[in-house]
Amino acid sequence: MFEEAQYFAPVTAQEDGSVVVELASSHPGFADPVYRARRNAIAGLAVGYRPGAPVPAAEYTEREHEVWALVARELGVKHAEYATAEYLHATRRLGLPQERIPQLEEVSELLEPLTGFRYVPAAGLVPLREFYGVLADGLFHSTQYIRHHSVPFYTPEPDVLHEVIGHANALASPRYARLYRAAGEAVRRVEGEEALEFVSKVFWFTLEFGVMREAGELKAYGAGILSSYGEIEEFRGMDIRELDLSAMGTTQYDITKYQDVLFRAESLQHLEDVVGGFWDTCDDDSIAKLVASGL
Ligand SMILES: [Fe+2]
C-alpha cells in the first residue's frame, strides 16, 4: 500500500450502514455507476472486517477477472526481463492464479506456509503506524478493488493488482519478508512522527520503489515498479542513486507521477546489510542524526 492520504479515495460510512468511496472526478471510474457501486460494496467488506475473522470474499465480476488476467500476463512478460531473480523465484513458489483475481484469504493460504504472512483487508488509507506496525506480526493491509477496465494498465491508486502481484510475490521470499517485518519492528520501536516518516520513506524507496544491480544489469524489486506496466519500462532511465539512508529518509517524492529518483542496492545482501540493519536497530536518536546528515 502507498502511504499518502491524498492517494486514496476517501471512504465514508453512512448513517444507514452503507459505505461510500468518494472517487475524484479525474478517476477513470468516476462516471461509471456500475464501477462506483462495486467500489462501495468492496470497501464495505473491509469496513465490516473484524481482526481474526476470515477475510470476506469479494464477488468479482467476469470483467474484473479479465482485467487481472490481462495485466498479470503482461506484467509476467516484463518481470522476466526486469525483476530480480529473488522476486522471480518467490513468484514461482507462491503460484498465484493468473486468470482470475485471487481472494485475499487465498493469498494468505498460499503465503503463510512460505513466510508466515497473511493479508488483511483495507478499505482505503490505513494510518502509517498501523499499516507498518502490523508487518511485525506478519500482517499486510491490502485493498481488494481492481482498477477500472477502461484503462487496464493504469491506476491512480493502489489496487489489488499492486497489493498482490507487487507485494505478495515479494513477501513469498523469506529474505524480502524479513525486511518487511524489520520495517514493522522499526515502526513499533520509534516514537516521534519524524522518525516514523523517515522509516516509511526508506520503505518507499526500497520495498516500494527499490532497484538492484544484478549480473551487471539493473533490476527492480520494489512492488510499485513491479506492478506498474508503464513504470517497469522506464525505471532504468531514471536518476539512479546509491543506496543512502539519509537521502532516502529525507527525499521528497510525488506519488502521483513516475518515481524519477531511485536508489540502487548493489546486491540483496547489500540491501539487507544497509536497510535491514537500519530497521533492526534504529531509534528516534539514530534517525535524528541521519536526518541532520541528510540535510
Ligand atoms: Fe504498496
124 touches 11 (CB < 8 A): yes
Is residue 238 within 8 Å of 201, Cβ to Cβ?
Answer: no
Q: Which residue has the cell 539514530?
A: 286
Question: Residue 226: how many CB atoms within 10 A of its CB?
Answer: 29
Q: What pLDDT, on the 0 to 100 scale, is given for residue 52?
A: 86
Cα–Cα distance between 23 and 20 in angstroms, integer?
A: 9
As a dihedral over the C-alpha atoms of residue 210, residue 269, residue 129, residue 170, rounded to 10 degrees, the angle is: 60
CA of 80 to the centre of ligand 1 (A): 21
* 66 Cα to the center of ligand 1, angstroms: 22
pLDDT reported for residue 5: 38
Assigned C-alpha cell, 168: 505478495
pLDDT, residue 55, reads: 92
Residue pair 19/123 in contact (Cβ under 8 Å)? The answer is: yes
Q: What is the pLDDT of residue 150?
A: 93
* Ligand 1 centroid distance, CA of 293 (Å): 28
How many alpha carbons lie under 13 Å from residue 231 in its C-beta half-sphere?
A: 28
Confidence (pTM): 0.94
Supply the pLDDT for residue 103.
98
Ion ligand 1 contact residues with beta carbon within 5 A: 1, 223
For cell 470497501, the residue is 43
The Cα–Cα gap between 30 and 100 comes to 24
Just list the catalytic residues: 162, 167, 208, 227
- Say how many residues make up the chain: 295
The pLDDT value recorded for residue 8 is: 82
Q: How far is the CA of 208 from the centre of ligand 1 (A)?
A: 6
- pLDDT at residue 1 in the model: 45
Running along the chain, 295 residues long, what does each successive block of 10 average in pLDDT? 58 86 92 94 91 91 96 97 98 98 98 98 91 98 95 91 98 98 98 96 97 97 95 94 96 84 98 98 98 83
DSSP assignment of the chain equals ----GGGSPPEEE-TTS-EEE---TTSTTTT-HHHHHHHHHHHHHHHT--TTSPPPPP---HHHHHHHHHHHHHHHHHHHHHB-HHHHHHHHHH---SSSPPPHHHHHHHHHHHHS-EEEE-SS---HHHHHHGGGGTEEEE------TTSTT--SS--HIIIIIIIIHHHTSHHHHHHHHHHHHHHHH--SHHHHHHHHHHHIIIIIT-EEEETTEEEE--HHHHT-TTHHHHGGGSEEEE--HHHHHH----TTS---EEEEESSHHHHIIIIIHHHHH--HHHHHHHHHHH-
Distance 141 CA to ligand 1 centre (A): 10
